[in-house]
Amino acid sequence: MKKLILIFMFFSIVSNAQQDAQYTQYMYNTIEINPAYAGSRGALSVFGLYRTQWVGLDGAPETSTFSVNTPLSNSDLGLGVSLVNDKIGPTTENTLSADLSYTIPTSETWNLSFGIKGTANLFNLDINKLTMEDQDDPQFQNLKNRFSPNVGAGIYYHSDRAYIGLSVPNFIETNRYDSDDTAIFKEKINYYLIAGYVFNLDRLEYIKFKPAVMTKMVEGAPLQVDVSGNFMFNDKFVLGLAYRWSASVSAMAGFQVTKGMYIGYGYDHETTRLRKYNSGSHEIFLRFDFFNNYNKMISPRFF
């Protein structure tokens, strides 16, 4: 039964739309979806994440992410580099991206950042994991390390307490491979809108609350809306819940180990019919911030 679900899942992906890798804790990994985020933390920020989705289902998505971003000294520029390894069924994608941002101060507390993203993608299909009627079908030959470039852009309006961003990480719709004029596997354009705000719930600022939302739109797939709420206690402990519209509910937790080191974990419980065939999704990440100016960030941030 699990193999039948895998086949259904794979051909649903290739016949509708290939979306970007999915993250529950996207608010800590914003550079993957918005290049204008590069350097916005005011520190050299190193981030690593591992996500395993739909545990127990053969061939389910598995994603590893590593990124570095930093502001450039004595300028309004930010720079970022990221690597994503995304596995779904018989397919593997390795994506290397470079991000450049430019920030304009609009007030004492708010900044407006513009960003561009350049991406190199290597796509691989392991035909040994497929059972095909015609093993010599030319559509499924020579599908290792198919290279495709792409370019994206974003804007990011932010302060120490709030943010709103709009981005398109990939402007070019790429056919991974095709037969004559028919695209069998196509990367669609993904549109992202994100926003969040941090509230102080007491005078001493021991308890903070941050609601956040991410909306993702892609042709050929349902509109995705992620709504989350995180509480931070004493700038150390974070607990939160999230809901992905018509897809899953999530629990999140995090700990600020030191001023520069943060570790986080998320668990997703599927609310669709797929919940019968898996035990949920797990996501863990680690972030290191290296500060040149310790007055730059007075207290740890949610984003």
- For the cut 60, the answer to whether the pLDDT of residue 5 exceeds it is no
pLDDT at residue number 76: 94
Mean of pLDDT values over 275-283: 91
Q: What is the 3-state secondary structure (H, E, C) of the chain?
A: CHHHHHHHHHHHHHHCCECCCCCCCHHHCHHHCCHHHCCCCCCEEEEEEEEECCCCCCCCCEEEEEEEEEECCCCCEEEEEEEEEEEECCEEEEEEEEEEEEEEECCCCCEEEEEEEEEEEEEEECHHHCCCCCCCCHHHCCCCCEEEEEEEEEEEEECCCEEEEEEECCCCCEEEEEECCEEEEEECCEEEEEEEECEECCCCCCEEEEEEEEEEEECCCCCEEEEEEEEEECCCEEEEEEEECCCEEEEEEEEEEECCEEEEEEEEEECCHHHHHCCCEEEEEEEEEECCCCCCCCCCCCC
CATH number of 34-290: 2.40.160.40
- Looking at residue 46, its amino acid is V
Question: pLDDT: is 74 or 128 the higher one?
Answer: 74
pLDDT on residue 91: 85
Tokens 């797990």, residue located: 282
Could you read off the pLDDT of 237-248 as tens digits, one per residue? 999 999 999 889
11-15, 66-70, 136-140, 282-286: the lowest-pLDDT one: 11-15
pLDDT, position 147:
87
pTM of the model: 0.86
Work out the average pLDDT over 84-102. 93
User: What pLDDT is recorded for position 236?
Assistant: 93
Residue 133 corresponds to which tokens in the numbers above? 């009627």
Range in 40-49, 121-130, 181-190, 238-247 the model is least confident about: 181-190
Note the pLDDT of residue 99.
Answer: 98
**Domain ranges for the chain:** 34-290
How high does pLDDT run on average in the chain?
85
pLDDT, one tens digit per residue, over 190-220 is: 999 999 999 999 888 899 999 999 999 987 7
Over residues 247-270, the mean pLDDT reads 95
Q: What is the pLDDT of residue 126?
A: 78
